[in-house]
Amino acid sequence: MTQRLRLLLEYDGRPFYGWQRQDDQPTVQGALEAACAALDGAPVLVQGAGRTDAGVHATGQVAHIELQKPRPLRKIPDALNFHLRPKPVAVLKAEEVDQNFHARFSATGRAYRYIIINRRADLTLERGRAWRVAQHLDADAMQAGANLLIGEHDFSTFRDTECQAASPVKTLDTLEVHRFADRVEVTTTARSYLHRQVRSIVGSLVEVGRGMKPPEWIAEILEARERTACGPVAPSDGLYLERVMYDDHPWGT
């Protein structure tokens, strides 16, 4: 009898070409599948809750696997982490689930956090893990613009040209901007997102925060439903998949 497991994952996205397995590039899925195969003695498919882009981090990604050789649950995270070293991927938790569970299709929501360091000095400790914006950002103006995106909309403006989603219509449940000293964070929750939607939104909100555009501009470009109307796309450095929600409980940090 096989053992299906739900894994809670953390990773630094900088060394990887995103989540999805590629034959000629290092990916998070590829690293996990190699570790699982080393543990189980056979190929193991790792299914993730979301396909993060190159350079995007996670503190609460969720995946599921199926092992042919069941093992004591308490030993699995340590065993997988042994095989993952020195790659910057960690299994924080493992939980047995029934055969109907699917990390992606069973998810009811996802939460992302984007971190901006708003200062003139270069980044040192957070280099590659946040976006430095030198010009002062008005977080209140950014929030005013963000409020115009909450709810169900056609997000074609904020959709990457290579997005494979069947529809550009998505529903943002929350979109919040908070300042903590020189740190500005944008957080959002939704059932699902378009490809690079969060980074596209953050980039446009930063244009508002810098005073280059008024908050009402966000509504204008949303209504345009045209990718060319979008502001610059924020770099991957500051984006974190923070939490994946399921009906049984919100699993993540």
> Mean pLDDT in the chain?
96
Distance CA 78, CA 84 (A): 10
Which burial class, exposed, middle or buried, applies to 104 when counting CB atoms under 10 A from its CB (0-12, 13-18, 19+)?
middle
Tell me what pLDDT residue 243 has. Answer: 96
Handedness of CA 191, 195, 197, 198 (dihedral sign): positive
Q: Please give the helix or strand (H or E) that residue 141 lies within, else none.
A: helix 139-147
Where in the sequence numbering do the catalytic residues fall?
53
Q: Which of 228, 225, 232, 223 is nearest to 203 (CA)?
A: 232
- The CA–CA distances, whole Å, from 75 to 47, 64, 79, 80 equal 21, 16, 6, 9
Predicted confidence band at 252 (pLDDT cuts at 50, 70, 90)? very low
Structure tokens at 39: 């543990």
**pLDDT tens digit sequence for 121-177:** 999 999 999 999 999 999 999 999 999 999 999 999 999 988 889 999 999 999 999
Tell me what pLDDT residue 249 has. Answer: 60
Q: Which of 139, 187, 156, 193 is nearest to 171 (CA)?
A: 193
Do the Cβ atoms of 109 and 60 come closer than 8 Å? no
**pLDDT tens digit sequence for 15-47:** 999 999 998 999 999 999 999 999 999 999 999
User: Domains of the chain by range and CATH?
Assistant: 3-106 (3.30.70.580), 109-245 (3.30.70.660)
Distance CA 98, CA 249 (A): 15
**pLDDT tens digit sequence for 73-102:** 999 999 999 999 999 999 999 999 999 999
